[in-house]
């Protein structure tokens, strides 16, 4: 069981500001670190990633470029400062972006998939005329798990704590919830500020203050703002924020369990629900903490990057937080989570792209609705589909379905371009 300080450290590890989809950012960070170790621009870089990272990064827009793909992400990383962390892709000038395009065209960057690696994994091997640097990130978007220079280890576990989500499973969910609710408000305030920044960006587009990059975002903004119900407003603003991020808009997002889209899901849903309920900002801040930790707890079963769409676990977190805002009991909070899991559990992750806006916006509405349903005494009985007697029973079954029955899905989804071309 984590103590309070370790819980806060874990929260900061998984709720960090990122610009751009975090899988391409992860690859860019590996390339940036390798270039930093070499001290010069390499003549060749080999990027290796897991099937899951490949799947998530192949079709998503890179911030401010109109480009997609891991080769371009790595090339941008070679020209970006590693110390910028998950904001590094936004640190390039237009001239540097064009230079990255040239590096890709000249074949400086090669990208491949390592079938034996699962979840979050990226490796960059960069070679100059004199030296070779190897950088690995494993298990986290920003944890340098190993660094080598000319065959000698140059660093170990990286500069981040890299706390494991699996350690949360040493206790049941009720115990974790009790711990989260005892955390100091001062330690959680950054969640509220990050959520406000996300909502402000979505509102700016929704109200016509900024032109959207994404046609999907344009669709979500068409509803007249004056006549929207809570659910419609949640759907539209969540959809706008996700679609723009996936299209390559340059704006910072506070992640949730390492995911920017799941950060948007929590932020928009709970700020709007809090406004509807006239909740005090401190209550909304605690609700955001519940959503973040609930998502992390559920991802401890499935993995942070898995065949299960993050809208499912992120949505369950929002359902729990909404129910808490409605003064639901601990059992009702769990019932709200079970409703979302029973509703959305078989939504697969087929990679990051603009249509993630459809899944996230759907999950946002269903999550808030589940919170209201649970507070009105509605629950799913054990044996209703995938729902078990306890939350932990449900998640064990979800884990078995995805690790067993759908264990190879990332491999096939990573080959989707090839598979489509053969039909």
Q: What is the pLDDT of residues 199-210, one digit of tens each?
A: 999 999 999 999
For the chain, the maximum distance between any two Cα atoms, rounded to a whole number of angstroms, is 68
pLDDT at 58: 86
Q: Is the pLDDT of residue 413 over 80?
A: no
| 165-416 has the same fold as 21-155 | no
Condensed to tens digits (0 to 9), the pLDDT of residues 93-145 reads: 999 999 999 999 999 999 999 988 888 999 999 999 999 999 999 988 998 99
Q: What residue has token string 């190993």?
A: 146
At 410, the pLDDT band (50, 70, 90 cuts) reads confident
Q: Is the pLDDT of residue 282 over 70?
A: yes
pLDDT at 420: 42
Kindly report the CATH number that applies to the domain delimited by 165-416: 1.10.4100.10
How long, in residues, is the chain? Answer: 423
pLDDT at 419: 39
Q: What residue has token string 């005892």?
A: 182
Q: Is the pLDDT of residue 160 over 60?
A: no
pLDDT at 307: 87
pLDDT at 404: 78
Q: Is the pLDDT of residue 411 over 80?
A: no
Residue boundaries of the structural domains of the chain: 21-155, 165-416
Average pLDDT score over residue span 301-330 = 95
Q: Is the pLDDT of residue 362 over 70?
A: yes
Q: Is the pLDDT of residue 161 over 80?
A: no
Q: Which tokens hold the place of 313?
A: 């676990």
Residue 195's Cβ-side half-sphere holds a number of Cα atoms within 13 Å equal to 28
Q: Is the pLDDT of residue 211 over 50?
A: yes
Average pLDDT score over residue span 7-35 = 96
Give CA–CA dist 304/290, Å, rounded.
17
Who wins on pLDDT, 307 or 394? 394
Give CA–CA dist 32/72, Å, rounded.
13
Q: Is 257 left (phi over 0), alpha (psi -120 to 50) or beta?
A: left
Share of the chain above pLDDT 90, in %: 83
What is the reported pTM?
A: 0.94
Lowest mean pLDDT among 48-62, 159-173, 322-336, 344-358: 159-173
Q: Is the pLDDT of residue 325 over 70?
A: yes
pLDDT at 422: 42
pLDDT at 159: 47
pLDDT at 123: 97
CB 323, CB 302: distance < 8 Å: no
Q: Which tokens hold the place of 281?
A: 């900002």
Share of the chain above pLDDT 70, in %: 94
Q: Is the pLDDT of residue 421 over 50?
A: no
β-strand pairing of 144-149 with 132-138: antiparallel
Q: Is the pLDDT of residue 187 over 60?
A: yes
Q: Is the pLDDT of residue 305 over 80?
A: yes
3-class SS string, the chain? CCCHHHHHHHHHHHCCEECCCHHHHHHHHHHHHHHHHHCCCCCEEEEEECHHHHHHHCCCECCCCCCECHHHHHHHHHCCCHHHHHHHHHHCCHHHHHHHHHHHHCCCEEEEECCCCCCCEEEEEEECCCCEEEEEEECCCCCEEEEEECCEEEECCCCCCCCCHHHHHHCCHHHHHHHHHCCCHHHHHHHHHHHHHHHHHHHHHHCCCCCCCCHHHHHHCCCCHHHCCHHHHHHHHHHHHHHHHHHCCCCCEECECCEHHHHHHHHHHHHHHHHHCCCCHHHHHHHHHHHHHHHHHHHHHHCCCCCECHHHHHHHHHHHHHHHHCCCCHHHHHHHHHHHHHHHCCCECCCCCCCHHHHHHHHHHHHHHHHHHHHCCCCCCCCCCCCCCCHHHHHHHHHHHHHHHCCCHHHHHHCHHHHHHCC
Q: Which tokens hold the place of 69?
A: 């793909």
| Domain 21-155 top-level CATH class | alpha beta
Who wins on pLDDT, 408 or 36? 36
Average pLDDT, the chain: 92
Smallest CA-to-CA distance from 173 within 269, 345, 339, 300 is with 300
Condensed to tens digits (0 to 9), the pLDDT of residues 46-73 reads: 999 998 899 888 889 999 999 999 999 9
């Amino acid at each position: 069981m984590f103590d309070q300080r370790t819980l806060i450290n874990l929260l900061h590890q998984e709720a960090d500001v990122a610009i751009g989809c975090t899988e391409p950012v992860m690859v860019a960070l590996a390339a940036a670190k390798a270039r930093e170790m070499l001290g010069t621009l390499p003549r060749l870089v080999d990027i290796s990633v897991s099937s899951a990272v490949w799947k998530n990064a192949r079709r998503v827009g890179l911030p401010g470029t109109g480009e997609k793909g891991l080769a371009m992400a790595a090339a941008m990383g070679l020209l970006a400062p590693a110390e910028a962390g998950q904001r590094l892709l936004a640190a390039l000038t237009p001239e540097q972006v064009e230079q990255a395009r040239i590096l890709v065209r000249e074949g400086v960057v090669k990208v491949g998939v390592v079938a034996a690696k699962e979840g979050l994994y990226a490796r960059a091997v960069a070679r100059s005329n004199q030296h070779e640097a190897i950088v690995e990130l494993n298990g986290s978007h920003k944890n340098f798990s190993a660094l080598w220079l000319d065959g000698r280890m140059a660093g170990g576990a990286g500069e981040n704590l890299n706390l494991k989500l699996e350690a949360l499973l040493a206790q049941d969910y009720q115990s974790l919830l009790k711990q989260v609710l005892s955390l100091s408000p001062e330690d959680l305030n950054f969640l509220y500020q990050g959520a406000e920044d996300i909502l402000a960006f979505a509102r700016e587009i929704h109200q016509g203050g900024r032109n959207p990059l994404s046609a999907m975002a344009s669709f979500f903004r068409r509803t007249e703002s004056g006549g929207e119900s809570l659910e419609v407003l949640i759907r539209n603003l969540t959809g706008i924020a996700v679609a723009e991020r996936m299209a390559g808009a340059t704006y910072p997002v506070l992640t949730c369990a390492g995911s920017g889209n799941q950060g948007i899901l929590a932020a928009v849903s709970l700020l709007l629900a809090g406004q509807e309920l006239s909740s005090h900002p401190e209550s909304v801040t605690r609700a955001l903490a519940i959503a973040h930790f609930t998502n992390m707890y559920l991802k401890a079963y499935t993995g942070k990057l898995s065949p299960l769409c993050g809208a499912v676990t992120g949505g369950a977190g929002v359902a729990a937080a909404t129910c808490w805002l409605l003064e639901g009991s601990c059992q009702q909070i769990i019932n709200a989570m079970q409703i979302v899991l029973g509703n959305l559990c078989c939504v697969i992750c087929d990679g990051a792209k603009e249509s993630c806006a459809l899944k996230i916006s759907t999950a946002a509405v269903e999550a808030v609705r589940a919170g209201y349903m649970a507070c009105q005494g509605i629950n799913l009985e054990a044996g209703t589909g995938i729902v078990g007697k306890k939350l932990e029973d449900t998640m064990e079954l979800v884990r078995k379905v995805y690790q067993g029955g759908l264990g190879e899905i990332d491999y096939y989804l990573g080959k989707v371009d090839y598979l489509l071309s053969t039909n």
